[in-house]
Structure 1
Amino acid sequence: MEPNKVKCQNCEQPYEEGFQFCPHCGQKTNDELTIGVLFYNTISNYFSFDARFLKSFVPLMFRPGYLAKEFVKGKRLLYLHPAQMYLFVAVIFFFIFNFYVREGREKLDKTMEEVVASRENKGKVSKEKLSDSIYMDSLRQMALKPIKLKKDALGLKEEDLRRLDSITTVEIGSEEINTDFGFNESEIDSLIQSGASNETIYRAMGMAEDAGYFQRKIFVQGLKFYKTMGLGQIYQTFIDSIPLAMFFLMPLFALFFKVFFFKRGRYAHHLVFSFYYFSFLFLLFSLIFAINRWIWDIPDWIDWLLAFSTFFYLVASVIRFYEQNWILSFIKSGIISFFFLLLVVPVSFVMLGFIAFLFY
């Protein structure tokens, strides 16, 4: 006798009557919507996540490479998933780090305000000097006027008058101040104060008439920065972009390991290793920043010692995960760290800073 069939409300696949869960999608069969059902998945998922994180914390911090090795071996529910671990710890890190970022931006904004105020004061002094210069020039012209009128009687030529004019000139005007901006600040300040169009100012800054989108964007942002000295905004944009940049840097970090350990599993295995290693880094620095800010000001030498210890953690992780002797693990870890920290990361952060400048 064929058993009665019912249809799942979620996936609409048939199954035998009497099942408590759908064999196709796993949803509970008699899942009537109540307050308890509404919050059950959220609460159960939260406590499941919490339990797995606590189980993962000690191995992550004190057993380098263990979680990655266990995950690759197939134990994928006992501990927190590597990507989930990374995202959770990264959120914690940037939340704590944001307190330092906010203080840094406040200092930058204050410094830039002082720079703008100083520049405006210089502008006022320049105007006063310019008035003095015009006044002295008028006096000089008044003194020379009788001589010019009687030049024939005195036997003076035009060349003699020009020489006399240059001798009696007194330069009291404001000096042209060239700075690292790459243009004449006095000229740009004058154009801004006179209400000149942005196009005119761009030309004075050095933009070519046939400038393309990219070159024009640089001058647009350059003028915006010169007017506002918005270094704090650029700094904030740069910091906000770091989490996104890490999603590109971490796979690249895994690619380095794939190159150096190309016979030790698929690329996904190296990516798992990278997820857990970066999770350790974020968690360690989260603890350091949190303790320094709210509990105890850790001496600098201890901070540096803890930061330097992350390399030895990497070596220990490589020894466990890739099952290689410590000499080769140390050499390969050193080479990868060198190229990644001294070449890839600096270039990436310079590019990130440039992008932050273009789009802040």
Structure 2
Amino acid sequence: METNITICKNCEKELNENFEFCPHCGQKTKDELTIGVLFYNTISNYFSFDARFFKSFIPLMFKPGILAKRFIQGKRLLYLHPAQMYLFISVIFFFLFAIYSRDSVKKFDEVLEKGFKSDAILEFDSVPKRVTDSIEIRKIAESLKDDGVITGLKDEEFEQLDSILKESTQPKNITSMTFDYDKNKVDSLIAVGAPESEKLKAMGMPDDAGFLKRRFYRQLLKFQEQSGKGILQAFYDSIPISLFVLLPIFALILKLFFYRRGSFAHHLVFSFYFFSFLFTTFSIILLAELIFEIPGWIKWLVFLSTFFYLFLAIRHFYQQGYIISFIKTSITSFIYVIIVIPIAAFLVVMGSFLFY
């Protein structure tokens, strides 16, 4: 019987035309390109959104530490790869977070804009507030003394009252409490379209400023030009990048507490799955918040449950006693929440300001 031979479109090697898949590269021999095939291949290739995801989801949510343990034991194809699961779930989480935070970003920008406008009124309005001159102040103080409203006032005490009235009625320089430069002058330079060098000089930037200081002054100028708009959005945009740093730091802390329980890659697998659980939990909360308002005590209860999830996950993955696992979980959480996250938050705030 004669065998019909065809050529694989992918690897260009010969194969039996009756084969459904190429024995050399594995591609389907009759894979007609349609819209469904196009998007399915995209999702499956980049996120492995297939049966493995659903096989991994239940153990991830309800069997803490088991998924990471089975992956370390060699069951690599049965479940979704930890890095792929983390990537896929984090994309969903930040998509929901962007929708959820949209209103807060808008309101924050509006508040900043109103704040800048109110400063402008106080600074540029011709008569924003009636300021009493020194002659009027003197007359008021003398009348109080002559009319007997204030009796027994010595000349020295009268002079002190005069100075107090002068100080209390002088216009306050609101800008000086916020920025250490003449904001009025910089606003004028911005209005006339002056070169950036002149505006930075008016802000007090020295000529020999280094890269970081020069960057800071430029961002401060941008902050004033845009009335602060976009700063909160820049902060939110920096969070995904910071989490890619926070995750290996979490794995490093686990390595310090369980240095005999495998290589750093083992702890990284555990961290990928744990962060995937966190993102899944927070995604559910955000999705529910978009539909109805969740009471605060339920949010705190969910947040507290993540600690016990971590405790059970560490107990199952590292195979240690309950007391030792609880102690190490508590110390790990304390170091991460009290020390690592605040430092990371500070760096994110500084980074979002310097690069927004």
* Counterpart in the other structure of 2:252: 255
* Counterpart in the other structure of 2:78: 78
Closer, same or farther: CA 311–209 of 1 in aligned 2, 3 Å:
same
Contact 2:231 2:353 (8 Å CA) reproduced = yes
The letter for the 2-side match of 1:181 is F
* Counterpart in the other structure of 2:263: 266
Could you tell me how far 1:252 is from its partner in structure 2? 1.5
Closer, same or farther: CA 102–181 of 1 in aligned 2, 3 Å:
same
Tell me the TM-score normalized by structure 2: 0.77
Could you tell me how far 1:266 is from its partner in structure 2? 1.6
Could you tell me how far 1:286 is from its partner in structure 2? 0.9
* Counterpart in the other structure of 2:114: 114
Mapped to 2, the partners of 1:306 and 1:181 lie a distance apart of: 41
Over alpha carbons, which structure has the higher Rg? 1
Could you tell me how far 1:206 is from its partner in structure 2? 2.4
Taking only aligned residues, the RMSD between alpha carbons, in angstroms, comes to 3.6
Structure 1 residue 285 corresponds to structure 2 residue 282? yes
Contact 1:202 1:220 (8 Å CA) reproduced = yes
The letter for the 1-side match of 2:223 is F
Closer, same or farther: CA 81–204 of 1 in aligned 2, 3 Å:
same
Please list, as runs of the form range in 1=range in 2, the aligned pairs for 1:189-228 lying within 5 A after superposition.
189=187, 191-192=189-190, 197-228=195-226
Could you tell me how far 1:257 is from its partner in structure 2? 1.1
The letter for the 1-side match of 2:259 is F
Closer, same or farther: CA 17–266 of 1 in aligned 2, 3 Å:
farther
Mapped to 2, the partners of 1:83 and 1:258 lie a distance apart of: 18
The letter for the 2-side match of 1:72 is I
Structure 1 residue 310 corresponds to structure 2 residue 306? yes
The letter for the 1-side match of 2:275 is F
* Counterpart in the other structure of 2:142: none
The letter for the 2-side match of 1:112 is L
Contact 2:247 2:271 (8 Å CA) reproduced = yes
The letter for the 2-side match of 1:221 is Q
Please list, as runs of the form range in 1=range in 2, the aligned pairs for 1:21-170 lying within 5 A after superposition.
22-28=22-28, 31-32=29-30, 34-35=32-33, 39=37, 42=40, 46=44, 49-125=49-125, 127-128=126-127
The letter for the 2-side match of 1:66 is I
- What whole-Å deviation, never above 9, does each CA across 1:282-304 have from its counterpart, x for those lacking one? 0011111211221x422211110
Closer, same or farther: CA 19–291 of 1 in aligned 2, 3 Å:
closer
Contact 1:67 1:276 (8 Å CA) reproduced = yes
* Counterpart in the other structure of 2:143: none
Closer, same or farther: CA 33–53 of 1 in aligned 2, 3 Å:
closer
Contact 1:179 1:185 (8 Å CA) reproduced = no
Secondary structure in structure 2 of the residue aligned to 1:49: coil
Closer, same or farther: CA 248–84 of 1 in aligned 2, 3 Å:
same
* Counterpart in the other structure of 2:340: 344
Mapped to 1, the partners of 2:97 and 2:64 lie a distance apart of: 24
Mapped to 2, the partners of 1:173 and 1:48 lie a distance apart of: 68
The letter for the 2-side match of 1:70 is R
Closer, same or farther: CA 128–192 of 1 in aligned 2, 3 Å:
farther
Count of equivalent residues:
320
Secondary structure in structure 1 of the residue aligned to 2:49: helix
Could you tell me how far 1:128 is from its partner in structure 2? 3.6
Mapped to 2, the partners of 1:193 and 1:204 lie a distance apart of: 14
Tell me the TM-score normalized by structure 1: 0.76
Range moving further from structure 2, 67-76 or 337-346: 337-346
Please list, as runs of the form range in 1=range in 2, the aligned pairs for 1:326-337 lying within 5 A after superposition.
326-337=322-333
Mapped to 2, the partners of 1:32 and 1:189 lie a distance apart of: 67
Could you tell me how far 1:258 is from its partner in structure 2? 1.4
Could you tell me how far 1:315 is from its partner in structure 2? 0.7
Mapped to 1, the partners of 2:311 and 2:342 lie a distance apart of: 22
Contact 1:183 1:206 (8 Å CA) reproduced = yes
Could you tell me how far 1:193 is from its partner in structure 2? 5.3
- What whole-Å deviation, never above 9, does each CA across 1:69-119 have from its counterpart, x for those lacking one? 111111122222211111111111111111221011111111012112211
Secondary structure in structure 1 of the residue aligned to 2:202: helix
Could you tell me how far 1:34 is from its partner in structure 2? 3.3
Structure 2: gaps of 5 or more residues? 136-165
Secondary structure in structure 1 of the residue aligned to 2:25: coil
- What whole-Å deviation, never above 9, does each CA across 1:122-154 have from its counterpart, x for those lacking one? 1233x34799999x9xxxxxxxxxxxxxxxxxx
Closer, same or farther: CA 15–81 of 1 in aligned 2, 3 Å:
same
Identical amino acids, percent of aligned pairs: 46
Structure 1: gaps of 5 or more residues? 137-169
Contact 1:56 1:67 (8 Å CA) reproduced = yes
Identify the match of residue 240 of structure 1 among 214, 223, 237: 237
Secondary structure in structure 2 of the residue aligned to 1:76: coil
Closer, same or farther: CA 216–19 of 1 in aligned 2, 3 Å:
same
Could you tell me how far 1:45 is from its partner in structure 2? 7.1
Contact 2:238 2:348 (8 Å CA) reproduced = yes
Closer, same or farther: CA 331–205 of 1 in aligned 2, 3 Å:
same
Range moving further from structure 2, 329-338 or 31-40: 31-40
Could you tell me how far 1:308 is from its partner in structure 2? 1.2
